[in-house]
Structure 1
């Protein structure tokens, strides 16, 4: 499995388009997250103290302590994200806000970016964060098996310390959106931290590790956090293997927050006055991938036919229980630059049959659609789509694979399979990581010269308005020819106790920024 896939699912952060960030003023990076938690009246003020008990999904057999490794468990990613800081974070007024990097500035050709570290940033053991720590951490990240996808266009030797406060990243090509790469997995460790010491390595984040046992942990407030005052005394993270067990624990009052619990739990909780249901739109994409490089779906007419087969409204209603929205085969639905004016593709069985006939598609065969049960609704979406495809004469057999087998053997190799992403605030994210001809995680094996050229031209364009026009062209090509069938977007669902305040409502990595969360009781 590509190392960042699971991190991206839980982290959900990518590259957004929020204007040219050639120069970004300093700030904490956490200040503009929004909360839908009730504030208890205009006079209610945030109060410090208390322990927030958080339940998160995961399996004890899959725990990891490496900030740059494969976080298959949401529980592990939550813990790592609170203990270690990235250079930047997502926000709601801007897709990229400062965090451990206080500001950044590009060279005129948009190939060289200088990041200035935040004043007063220290590790939990009191030692200051240095540019050498940052360079070592980013090079370590880049040298992971999926490093080229994590930091596309940046080679390890192109990451350097210029002085005591400045880290330089040199891109192989002009990239107006490069700072947005630093929102994901750029966790900073102390230079030369050995792998054997990762479990107890000090971070720079708002919480310090007190103890960790088999995916469960207790984190205590970092009173010296450079990003500002942290309200909670502590956060206790408890691992749960199923959404049902997670939601049951919340409803029973055993935890205060059930993270990413799903639509079924939301339906149950909506009648409870003592439970808050928080919905995060555009949180999860579960597209069907059609291999474009070779095989039965290499013909663009066949891919268009399958997209026309999908009854998107029915899939949102049945698979997502209505907790989601219809999508239009373009990834990055939460991006401010998302092309909403491209006509919504609708079901058209007659046209689908016509295209299949023109392409000489063999309808006498049965085609496997491979899926997993990694997340709620994924296998169900495959089954419903297979039923819908039969109405166009396409016979599909749904094959459920064990997660490890799927990521090792099917992902990026299969002819027809489901995938999932929690990073949906950027069309550029998917372009750079999954759709360029040389993308590190090209899921469908797609190679399209026009798409590649549109991406490179957009990234070399400093003017935000002009870049948005180029990104529109990018999405037009994706909509017409890519290997993705994105039928809908699932809402992220969190359940919280009545006393919880200040929960972030941003998707993905924004969702785990809990430094401003507090308890009213």
Structure 2
């Protein structure tokens, strides 16, 4: 099966979304089209004609202590990911219809057994220094990515030795198992750098993206237009990125006219801004999941009855109302709620304190102890969700102390290791994404340390199924198993909210990290 699209024909549409992001069509739709797709949407331009020029000043969340310049590193800061995603290109990107679109790869084709995939590079793709992008550059980049601590999760089922070049313009990936969704799973940090780039030189490595790095200082950066970008015309002269540690500080900067765009600013700021005529509120439903992680391998939450009790002790409607100020949707302990293959037929869990207490008693759970729930303030509402969760489960007899950790410490010491902690994912359009990255037994980012042979088998069976409709049905089995026994408590999904000054036009509107794809933005001044 072949998927291709003419990038040059879509100048007026945003073609880029990010690694955790997704379009409106989910996993079941991948590979159903053999022609061009509909690119992601952009904010309304009120009939104004796009114009070139100007500098867009963007605020993004991050902490100076967590700055990452390596395009293959783990980006805890949204500010870092914004910069990297505009300087470097990935092979594929999320879209609307279908949900995976070409980028640095113009098309792809699988073998009949869904194990061998050939990605053809886009014609005219070049690095910022003018040198052409070759298959060897992509092979080097993907192998380097595969060698990172989370490389096995970023390139699931792909060993470094099984990434090879075929001529100058085709990259071949051979999967350990049939994988009908591999192009979708390449919508991550498959950023491409030049072959031979050393770790020492990686921060200065030229990219292929719509903007070039002018300077970078302490998390703040200035990017200038790449006039030779193969993906079409870029209108802005430059983008200046300013790092903010809190959503409120970022929102205040926008209201004071110090920045033009506040990215992922949260519900509190939205309530204030909606009363302002000079501020645009861009709202993206099903944007972010903020699940509570319960470790399943060992520790106090290893017993599935205990995990079920905590899920039953949560008042989900209250969580959405209080934590998200109503800017969100109740969830059902399944990740990927924006996917058309999402299992809506699975009965919605409702609060049942009586049943929760019974399960805790049957499991012999020690109610005399106080358990620690670790969280961060990396995104709006995350720490607040932990506090409200602790108050709610106290009604079932479970005492929890919320511990706020500094971001760098949390990701180094708690993530993947803790018994009970919050996490967040800025995407919700793909059941397959979460299954492959966080739930199969051999995942390098298996957040709950969950090993379930039935789940693994159901996932592999779905991935080995060519027919999209049949694959979607099999993905329902994957979700039913997750709902029944995984280590996730998914109480709701947050709307994504950006604030923009009145002159800003052409902003992306898809859920997830699509908000950072700004090459089609322009200023109506």
Range class of TM-score, shorter chain: over 0.9
What is aligned with 1:228?
A: 232
Measured in 2, the distance between the counterparts of 1:401 and 1:513 equals 30
Q: Which residue of 1 is the match for residue 263 of structure 2? A: 259
Pick closer, same or farther for the CA change 1:207–1:64 going to 2, 3 Å.
Answer: same
Inter-partner Cα distance in structure 2 for 1:237 and 1:410: 29
CA distance in 2, matches of 1:398, 1:237: 32
Provide the residue aligned with 1:34 in structure 2.
Answer: 41
Deviates more, 1:355-364 or 1:85-94: 355-364
Q: 1:484 aligns with which of 446, 468, 488?
A: 488
Choose the corresponding residue for 1:432, options 417, 433, 436.
436
**How far apart are the structure 2 equivalents of 1:506 and 1:380?**
25
SS at match of 2:158: coil
Residues 151-160 or 438-447, more deviating: 438-447
Deviation, 1:154, is 0.3
Deviation at 1:429, TM superposition (A): 1.0
Deviation at 1:151, TM superposition (A): 0.5
2:68 aligned partner:
64
Select 2:339's aligned residue among 319, 335, 342: 335
Aligned mate of 1:350, from 348, 354, 373: 354
Deviations 1:211-236 (A, max 9, x none): 22222222121111111111112111
Contact 2:65 2:408 in 1 (8 A): no
1:347–1:482 CA distance, 2 compared to 1 (3 A): same
SS in 1 for 2:408: helix
How far apart, CA to CA, are the structure 2 residues paired with 1:288 and 1:258? 27
Deviations 1:111-161 (CA, angstroms, capped at 9, x unpaired)? 000000001111111111101101001001101111111111000000000
Residue 194 of structure 1, CA deviation: 2.0
Distance 2:167 2:359 in 1: 60
Q: CA contact under 8 A between 1:285 and 1:489: conserved in structure 2?
A: yes
For 1:415 and 1:153, how far apart are their aligned partners in 2? 27
CA contact (8 A) 2:87 2:210 kept: yes
Pick which of 393-402 and 302-311 moved more.
393-402
Aligned position for 2:20: 12
- Give the Cα separation in 2 of the matches to 1:374 and 1:10: 18
Q: TM-score, normalised by structure 2?
A: 0.93
Q: Is the 8 A contact 2:88 2:209 kept in 1?
A: yes
CA distance in 2, matches of 1:397, 1:201: 45
CA RMSD of aligned residues (A): 1.8
Cα distance, 1:10 vs structure 2:
8.1
Say if 2:105 is the partner of 1:95.
Answer: no
Report the more deviating stretch, 167-176 or 299-308.
299-308
How many Å separate the matches in 2 of 1:237 and 1:403?
Answer: 20
Answer yes or no: is the 8 Å Cα contact 2:286–2:428 preserved in 1. yes
Which residue in the other structure is 2:6 paired with? Answer: none
- Distance between the aligned counterparts of 1:212 and 1:55, measured in 2? 14
State how far apart, in whole Å, the 2-side matches of 1:232 and 1:399 are. 43
| Structure 1 CA distance for aligned equivalents of residues 132 and 180 of structure 2 | 30
Q: Does the C-alpha gap of structure 1 residues 518 and 494 become closer, same or farther in structure 2, counting only changes over 3 Å? A: same
How far apart are 1:22 and its partner, in Å?
8.0
Do residues 300 (structure 1) and 304 (structure 2) align?
yes
- 2:504 aligned residue: 500
Q: Specify the alignment match of 2:513 in structure 1.
A: 509
Q: 1:134 aligns with which of 117, 132, 138?
A: 138
Query: What residue is the counterpart of 2:409 in the other structure?
Result: 405
Give the 3 Å change call, closer, same or farther, for CA 139–351 of structure 1 in structure 2: same
Q: Shift of residue 64 of structure 1? A: 2.5
Change beyond 3 A, Cα 1:76–1:408: closer
**In 2, are the aligned partners of 1:160 and 1:167 still within 8 Å (CA)?**
yes
Aligned residues: 507
Alignment of 1:312-327 (within 5 A): 312-327=316-331
Residue range with higher mean Cα deviation, 157-166 or 371-380: 371-380
Cα distance change on mapping 1:423 and 1:267 into 2, 3 Å? same
Shift of 1:274: 0.3
Give 1:395 shift. 1.8
SS in 2 for 1:67: coil
**Residues 310 and 487 in structure 1, CA contact (< 8 A), matched pair in contact too:** yes
Normalised by the length of structure 1, the TM-score is 0.94
8 A Cα contact 1:308 1:349, kept in partner = yes
- Aligned residue in 1 for 2:421: 417
CA distance in 2, matches of 1:100, 1:490: 31
Determine whether 1:169 maps to 2:173: yes
Aligned to 1:452: 456
In the TM superposition, what whole-angstrom CA distance separates every residue of 1:331-356 from its partner, at most 9, and x where no partner exists? Answer: 11111211112111111111112222
- Give the distance between the partners of 1:62 and 1:403, measured in 2 at CA: 7
1:319–1:201 Cα change, 3 Å: same
Distance of 2:392 and 2:513 partners within structure 1: 34
Q: Distance in 1 between matches of 2:413 and 2:63?
A: 21
The aligned counterpart of 1:182 is 186
For residues 370 and 466 of structure 1, the distance between their equivalents in structure 2, rounded to whole angstroms, comes to 40
**How far does the alpha carbon of each residue in 1:154-174 deviate from its partner, in whole angstroms, 9 at most, with x for none?**
000000001121100000000
Give the Cα–Cα distance (whole angstroms) in 2 for the partners of residues 210 and 340 of structure 1. Answer: 47
